[in-house]
Amino acid sequence: MKGVFVVWRHLFKGRILTYHEVELCWYENHLIKEISLTELFSSLKKVKGILMKKKEKVCVRCGTQDPEHFVQLPDDKGEKNFYCVNCIQLGRVTTFQFLYYLDEDKRAGNQRSPSLMTWRGVLSSEQKRACQEVLDQMADIQRPHLIHAVTGAGKTEIIFPIIDACLQRGGRVCIASPRVDVCLELAPRIQKAFKTIPVCVLHGQSKEKYFRTEITIATTHQLLRFQSAFDLMVIDEVDAFPYKDDKSLHFAVSRAVKERGKLLFLTATPDKTLEEAIKNGKIIRTTLPARFHGYPLPEPTLYWIGNWRKAIIERNIKSRLWQLIKMFKRLPGIKLIFLPDISLLKKLFLWMDHRYPNDKIASVYSTDPERHYKISQVRKGSIDIIISTTILERGVTFENCHVLIIGAEDNYFKKSVLIQMSGRVGRSKNFPCGKLIYAHYGISISMRQANKEIRNLNKMADRMGLLRRFSNG
């Protein structure tokens, strides 16, 4: 019976769940054979879902104290009952309900076990440097460590030995990202690098149920269900929406890490908040200005296309936009076209699909139910032209990819967004170059800034002797 006891406990250690989530976990994992539901609830610790502190209310799950995030419910007893709308997507938490949790094991020890990493690749000298700098600072639990690496620098491979070091000490690792696409891209790569360890992948669209394992990959929203669970927390694309502006997600990340756990951030485009924290010594930074294959970042060609919106709406085949598209579609490999507007994206797709019925064209956007399927079809070669919003600015890697940004001057395309979209080009060592076009109706400040930063990073990498050749070829 002791063995069984350990099994059910492991499903709840380090987690903080609603009554319904506990009940569902009990049912889905057939725990009725080991413990009754009544016994289970009496064995878990509990805390009120919403705490009332004088006139203030605090949601225990997401940490919000904003009065606008609480809505009052009618109650027959005359007592005020509120629920939190800030984390309602994970199920309702109210004043009268409890959240249930079980303490995780203490911090991993110092005793090392053999390596669990099955990846046999070789890191470049710069990747090794970045990896070692993080390992040297693992004991500094007060300050997160940021790996600021250009797009395509191979930062996923950099974290393999860091994950392994944590696992060797018996620790648990979580790799989280604000974007589902990033999680889906990471999952098979992490699983391949640690073949003997089952990887649990958690996101809002996932049908996979939670299971306890040493490596978890999750969207940052899923961390609202964890408490003091992980010895190493890696946040990939830390500056991405919605994480960067959402205090509750920052709260969730901080709570999900053990008291003596380590936070590691990854991004190619640190925002002002991160830069300020680095300047004030609150975050340690390691910078990689060059890609792992030694070729420079592709620099954009700025191409004036006039009133591109009008051209799409009127389907003007004589427009500069259409002439550019005709040239762009002839390039070998995968063609990725970005637009800032979903309605115009759909119009452009229908136009191109009508004019080129034999071409393999698709469009994707955040609410597209077939988004992940279409991305998989691109990788399989069934689609070679994909029209997208910024949903594909991060977390996707295609071999031999070219990028055309239509409406690059749009206010929606900030500097960081342009840099991330640009970073889809030339990521593979087999295809380190490619076409990158900022098609515009006027050059914006963000376009100038993105172009300048890409050039400056290439110059820095060149000065450091990290480039094979300083040319887009």
Return the closest-CA partner of residue 309 out of 296, 293, 321, 295.
321
In a domain, 296, yes or no: no
What residues make up the domain containing 96?
A: 2-101
pTM of structure: 0.92
Q: Are residues 20 and 162 in the same domain?
A: no
Q: Are residues 250 and 171 in the same domain?
A: yes
Q: Count the Cβ atoms, other than its own, within 10 Å of residue 343.
A: 10
Distance of CA 252 to the CA centre of its chain: 15
Q: Are residues 337 and 456 in the same domain?
A: yes
In a domain, 272, yes or no: yes
Quick one: pLDDT at residue 108? 60
Beta-sheet strands, E only, within 126-236:
145-149, 173-177, 199-202, 215-219, 230-236
Backbone angles phi, psi at 281, to 5 degrees: 75, 15
Question: Which of 101, 133, 165 is the C-terminal boundary of a domain?
Answer: 101
d(CA 169, CA 444): 50
Quick one: pLDDT at residue 80? 85
Residue ranges of the chain with per-residue pLDDT less than 70: 1-6, 76-78, 107-111, 469-473
Q: Are residues 171 and 256 in the same domain?
A: yes
In a domain, 119, yes or no: no
Quick one: pLDDT at residue 473? 40
Q: Are residues 244 and 327 in the same domain?
A: no
Q: Are residues 147 and 263 in the same domain?
A: yes
Q: Are residues 152 and 279 in the same domain?
A: yes
Q: Are residues 458 and 345 in the same domain?
A: yes
pLDDT digits (tens, 9 = 90+) for 284-340: 999 999 999 999 999 999 999 999 999 999 999 999 999 999 999 999 999 999 999
In a domain, 62, yes or no: yes
In a domain, 468, yes or no: no
In a domain, 14, yes or no: yes
In a domain, 472, yes or no: no
Q: Are residues 228 and 373 in the same domain?
A: no
Number of domains in the chain: 3
Coil, strand, or helix at residue 412?
coil
Question: Which of 288, 323, 338 is the C-terminal boundary of a domain?
Answer: 288
In a domain, 113, yes or no: no
Quick one: pLDDT at residue 334? 97
Q: Are residues 346 and 398 in the same domain?
A: yes
DSSP code at position 441: S
Quick one: pLDDT at residue 109? 61
Question: Which of 245, 267, 288 is the C-terminal boundary of a domain?
Answer: 288
Structure tokens at 174: 């979580």
Q: Count the Cβ atoms, other than its own, within 10 Å of residue 180.
A: 20
Q: What is the CATH number for 315?
A: 3.40.50.300
Q: Are residues 16 and 72 in the same domain?
A: yes
Q: Are residues 206 and 148 in the same domain?
A: yes
Quick one: pLDDT at residue 111? 67
